[in-house]
């Protein structure tokens, strides 16, 4: 499959004639920024579409790149949008759309990484995926390996840059063998691949991986399913202890406040001390303390 060059004409395309072939979710804050930018300064870069013929013979277009810009125009009430029209096959249009999203690296981590998997499923080799997305071949191969093993927690950590790919692959290769995992961590530390904060992050990920599973989504599903009588008792005991700690802190704070109020009453009863405060314009107290030092409302 050879994607043709994008050289083509720029046209004003009716928005209702454009079909999105590779839709993806977008953070609402990011979308609002896109809308604001389009509203303020207009469209800096045309979207990319490829022409098709609808079943009724009318002209339509498949969106290759620019879903956010297209939605922004639609939300602003526009009926047409500037578009670069290129002539490619359905499959190439889909691949180009995926490659654009991955190369920009603005997706949520798992969405971006799933895009790499989709490219592989379309028959592209890691080398070709790297060329199309601007990523390194080693990175693409590593991502595909982690995807194959379902290592979502490690994938997210790698994409965020909290642990290096080599360390993630070593941990994934160790499987559920705790000794092998510790050996992989030790080797990564001694080779300088994991140091300081990254080492601590890797340990936390391993702990979650062991207790909650390798899939980030699985954790959300299992939270309700794993509730037992013993877990409820532990939760209750933890909450009781937390409440007791709060009560102890409140009692300690109350005692300190009573001490401060008593001390202030004695100081303000000293006329010489009061004359000194008045001379420095310091004879008033915050209302919170004044109401306690002089409950009847009478000041010094």
pLDDT at 55: 82
Q: Please report, in tens digits, the pLDDT of each residue of the chain (300 residues total).
A: 444 444 568 889 999 999 887 777 666 776 787 788 787 777 778 888 999 988 888 889 999 888 888 888 988 888 999 998 988 887 778 777 777 767 665 555 566 677 788 788 888 888 888 887 777 888 888 888 888 888 888 888 887 777 888 888 888 887 777 778 777 777 777 777 777 777 777 777 777 777 777 766 543 344 444 556 766 777 777 788 878 888 888 888 888 888 888 888 888 888 888 888 888 887 777 777 777 777 765 566
Enter the pTM of the model: 0.49
CA separation for the pair 206, 223 (Å, rounded): 18
pLDDT at 215: 67
pLDDT at 182: 79
Candidates 117, 35, 55, 45; CA nearest to 82 is 45
- The full set of domain ranges for the chain reads 1-107, 135-226, 229-293
pLDDT at 103: 66
pLDDT at 216: 63
CA separation for the pair 99, 115 (Å, rounded): 8
Q: Look at phi and psi of residue 150 and say left if phi exceeds 0, alpha if psi is from -120 to 50, else beta.
A: left
CA separation for the pair 280, 136 (Å, rounded): 70
C-alpha neighbours within 13 Å on the C-beta side of residue 64 = 25
pLDDT at 299: 61
Asked if 135 contacts 165 with a C-beta cutoff of 8 angstroms, the reply is: no
Identify the CATH number of the domain defined by range 1-107.
3.90.1530.10
What is the SS3 assignment for the chain?
Answer: CCCCCCCCEEEEEEHHHEEECCCCCCCHHHHHHHHHHHHHHCCCCCEEEEEEECCCCCEEEEEEECHHHHHHHHHCCCCEEEEEECCCCHHHHHHHHHHHHHHHCCCCHHHHHHHHHHHHHCCCCHHHHHHHHCCCHHHHHHHHHHHHCCCHHHHHHHHHCCCCHHHHHHHHHHCCCHHHHHHHHHHHHHCCCCCCHHHHHHHHHHHHHHHHCCCHHHHHHHHHHCCCHHHHHHHHHHHHHHHHHHHHHHHHHHHHHHHHHHHHHHHHCCHHHHHHHHHCCCCCCCHHHHHHHCCCCCCC
Place of tokens 């870069």: 45
Strands of the sheet with 9-14, listed across from one edge? 9-14, 80-85, 47-53, 59-65, 18-20
Q: Is the dihedral of CA 209, 210, 215, 219 positive or negative?
A: negative
């Amino acid at each position: 499959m050879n994607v043709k060059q994008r050289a083509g004409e720029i046209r004003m395309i009716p928005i209702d004639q454009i079909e999105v072939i590779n839709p993806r979710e977008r953070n609402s804050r990011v979308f609002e920024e896109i809308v604001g930018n389009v509203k303020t300064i207009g469209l800096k870069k045309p979207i990319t579409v490829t022409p098709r013929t609808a079943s009724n013979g009318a002209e339509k277009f498949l969106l290759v790149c620019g879903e956010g810009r297209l939605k922004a125009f639609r939300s602003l009430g526009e009926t047409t949008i500037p578009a670069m029209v290129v002539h490619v096959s359905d499959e190439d249009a889909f691949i180009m759309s995926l490659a654009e999203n991955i190369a920009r690296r603005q997706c949520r981590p798992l969405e971006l990484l799933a895009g790499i998997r989709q490219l592989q499923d379309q028959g592209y080799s890691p080398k070709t995926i790297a060329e199309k997305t601007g990523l390194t071949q080693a990175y693409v191969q590593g991502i595909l390996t982690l995807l194959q093993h379902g290592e979502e927690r490690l994938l997210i950590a790698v994409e965020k840059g909290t642990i290096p790919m080599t360390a993630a692959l070593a941990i994934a290769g160790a499987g559920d063998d705790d000794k092998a995992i510790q050996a992989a961590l030790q080797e990564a530390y001694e080779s300088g691949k994991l140091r300081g904060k990254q080492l601590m992050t890797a340990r936390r990920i391993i702990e979650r991986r062991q207790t909650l599973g390798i899939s980030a989504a699985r954790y959300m599903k299992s939270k309700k399913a794993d509730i037992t009588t013993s877990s409820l008792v532990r939760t209750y005991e933890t909450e009781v202890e937390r409440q007791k700690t709060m009560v102890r802190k409140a009692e300690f704070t109350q005692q300190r406040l009573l001490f401060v109020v008593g001390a202030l009453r004695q100081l303000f009863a000293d006329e010489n001390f009061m004359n000194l405060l008045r001379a420095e314009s310091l004879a008033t107290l915050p209302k919170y303390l004044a109401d306690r030092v002089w409950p009847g409302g009478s000041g010094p």
